[in-house]
Chains A and B, each alone.
Chain A
Amino acid sequence: MRLLARAALYAGLTFAAVTFIYPFLWMVSSTLKPPFEFGTLALVPDRITLENYRIMWSRAPFGRALANSVLVAGTITAAVLVLGSMTAYAMARLTFPGRRALNAATMAVLLVPGQLTLIPLYTLIVQLGWIDTYAALIVPYLFNATAILMLRQFFLQIPQSLIDSARMDGMGELRILFTIFWPLARPPLAIVAIFTFMGSWNEVLWPLLVVRDQQTMTLPQLLTVFALGGGAGTLGVSLAAAMVLVVPVVVAYMFLQRYFIESMAGAGVKG
């Protein structure tokens, strides 16, 4: 009886897992299928071809878009980590006039929906003459309130004695942040990095507003323009373009995944 219940449980779980993974696998396999095979639900193509990728690559500057996306998402992620942790450190561990106000303001930023600031921000970018520039894609995202609050919360838990000890060893605040706090904060930094990178990588709406020049477009933007504009021609080519978008994120996730589990803060203090 228990065996039966267990079997049913596993069957249910397997079914659920398949429902999630199947469309993705189908997409991967479809990019390798010739056009006449799209109608089937089979996961293994009868004939494997890279034709879809070749067509996609030749019809729009996807290589350039990929480089743009890496540049934009990479810069934003690095900035959010560096500037965010500096802000979080100050808010968590330094005393200065206006600290409470800064905390409250950072929290308040979270409550404002992004769509609300879209128009004013767009107007600002136009006024600055940043349309069709990388600055328009990067600068508005350099600071991230969620990242700051998350890192601040973590930094608050690091024992004061570590900071004291580092100060007596002769470190300044920046050095304490980057040589003591950063190694301890690898798990939250990794989470912030992944979310920031993915958020930026997948962003379509904002690039559509501020970039019209194909050479400056990011990958999802170009993909959207390409697919919706009918440039792809066949489903296989559209899906191949989508693969280019998804692969870097999956790779980044696999690379950073272990930091989610790893937690080493506090290991050197107390018994």
Chain B
Amino acid sequence: MPSVSFEHVGKRFGDVGVVEDFSLDVADGELLVLVGGSGSGKSTILRMVAGLESVTTGSIRIEDRDITQLPPRERDVAMVFQDYALYPHLTVRDNLSLGLRLRKVPRTEIDRRVRWAGGMLGLDALLDRKPKQLSGGQRQRVAMGRAMVREPLVFLFDEPLSNLDAGLRAQMRIEIGALQRRLKTTTIYVTHDQVEAMTLGDRIVVLADGRIQQVGRPIELYRSPLNRFVAGFIGTPPMNFIDGSLESENGRAAFVAEGVRVELPVERMPATACSEPRTLGIRPEDLRIAAGPGSGTDALDAGSRGRVVLVERLGGTSHIHFDVGPHRLMASVSGESLPEVGDVIGVQVLPARVHLFGADGRAA
């Protein structure tokens, strides 16, 4: 039985549609990540589950109970907010226990749960402090503890790490993942950060303009994006795109754009007419470069060449930005011997790893 199921859920603010026809089942114990840019509707979906926004159309069920019209307190969900939303005038202990006291949970049970969550999150020594006496990471833990002590059916996380600095964010990301695996509580996690999505999610839902673009395991989204948006959104650094068209000759197909020609493997041969515009997508890690000019023409294929315009040295890997014809591309490479700006380099793509998108943006 799915833990949370959305059936054709839609949300409108006046004339503006924010979420359109959102249907999805979240499995019991799953960590589902909703990812998308701002305005994609991801936070609105979360707030609809929480009961903080009304649902315009469709319904939401939690463990077979229709919660669409229930007030927040009757939904058995707990939420962690982006700005933590701790009550500033209450101590950590009171912040943790307030929700339970309002639900008339017995005193001894409240104490047990506060000790349990405090121990699990390392808050024991901080229980009598006020939020302003805590660091960002500690406040984040208190916010998680407040959700945990409720022992809800579903956890909701609304961009919980975006107020933390980079180092702490990575650490808290690991902690949240570990905690969720331990508690096995169904979790819906909203973020705009695709690295968080990739590392945390059992499954990822990519959203744009209030619509689902693709749902799948992180590696599926990375390897087989269904459209150009997902291809560009998932993966760091982002995928290179070149607009052009297909040509077929003697039963062989090639992608052609100004200064670029990539022979495609037979299995990528399109079924439809070739003349319509296509977009070629190449992940930076699927581009190979070699110092010195390649042997062949300007064509981007085995033995083509480009001119380096920028080298970003990150230590382990480096990003080489270069021009092939009018196209600015980027390759992600490891190793010590890197070209300099202005160098002409040989470029190879792995034809089996390229992505093709039609004029409508869908994978072709």
Contact = CB atoms under 8 A, between A and B. Distances in A.
Interface of A: 159, 161-162, 164-171, 180, 183-184, 264-271
B139 A271 contact: yes
A271 B79 contact: no
Contacts of A170: 72-73, 99, 102-103
Contact of A271 (B47, B52, B78, B135): B135
B61 to A, nearest CB: 19
Given A161-B81, A164-B50, A168-B79, A268 B99 contact: no
A161 B135 contact: no
Interface string B83-94: 111111100000
A84 to B, nearest CB: 20
B88 A266 contact: yes
A268 B103 CA distance: 23
A270 B79 contact: no
Q: How large is the interface on B (under 10, 10 to 19, 20 to 34, 35 or more residues)?
A: 20 to 34
B79 A164 contact: yes
Interface of B: 47, 50-52, 71-73, 77-79, 81-89, 98-99, 102-103, 130-132, 135-136, 139, 163-164
B52 A269 contact: no
A270 B82 CA distance: 8
B81 A165 contact: yes
Given A161-B83, A267-B88, A269-B84, A168 B50 contact: yes
A161 B82 contact: yes
A162 B85 contact: yes
B52 A268 contact: no
A268 B102 contact: no
29 contacts: A161-B83, A161-B84, A162-B85, A164-B79, A164-B85, A165-B81, A168-B50, A168-B52, A168-B72, A168-B73, A168-B78, A168-B79, A169-B73, A170-B99, A170-B102, A264-B88, A265-B88, A268-B88, A268-B130, A268-B132, A268-B139, A269-B84, A269-B88, A269-B131, A270-B84, A270-B163, A271-B136, A271-B139, A271-B163
**Cβ-closest 6 pairs across A and B:** A268-B88, A268-B131, A267-B132, A170-B73, A161-B85, A169-B99
A96 to B, nearest CB: 14
Contacts of A169: 73, 98-99, 102
